[in-house]
Amino acid sequence: MRGISLQARLAAGLFALTGLFLSAAGSSALAQTVDLAGVKYEAQADIGGQKLQLNGAGIRYKAVFKVYTAGLYMAEKTSNADAVLAAPGAKRIHLVMLREVDGNELGKLFTKGMEQNASREEFGKAINGVLRVAEIFSTRKSLTTGEYFWIDYVPGTGSTVFLNGKPMGAAIKEPEFFSALLRIWLGKSPADDQLKDALLGVKRSLRERG
């Protein structure tokens, strides 16, 4: 009886330890999921058969209004904007709208952001993709709260635009396009300085931001 009782206690102890381990692992996985204004960005994304990591995510503000969330996925995390742009692997930028935005206006803002941050040569090489994105958004009267889009870059394939989970035509072949696109948020004149920090996983004090 004592032997059986000891075995039972050992089994119970092992079960408890296993439960604690699974609970800790689950908590760790949940901790890696970023929640922004109710929008969840998973810690990993599968792009072109590659597992990418969430490099960072944040909210785009205009004055005091929340406009959209943005998440950046990379093969390896980095807090350096130049390293993000130079990284040769697959990447994803994923946006979710937090308020209604005019589609044509959004396309114009993206075009302006790319033109301001890319060199003339790079912008010229990216122009086919720039026009394609502007056309995609101009066909929509507006993007409403909760609608989303992402753009995947896969080496050798190009950049594919997904709107609400559906691919919008063939991939944009020019690699310069995705680099110019990322510069909207990571360039020298980003759309939002705090969002740039968030996408890079950088946390700054209010003093540093000032």
In the predicted model, residues of the chain with pLDDT beneath 70 are 1-31, 204-210
pLDDT at residue 48, as a whole number = 81
pLDDT at residue 28, as a whole number = 40
pLDDT at residue 6, as a whole number = 52
pLDDT at residue 121, as a whole number = 94
Q: Which of 35, 36, 94, 97 is nearest to 62 (CA)?
A: 97
CA gap 148, 154 in Å, rounded: 20
Beta bridge partners of 54: 73
For the stretch 63-75, pLDDT in tens is 889 999 999 999 9
* Helix 120-138, helix 175-186: angle, nearest 10: 90
pLDDT at residue 203, as a whole number = 84
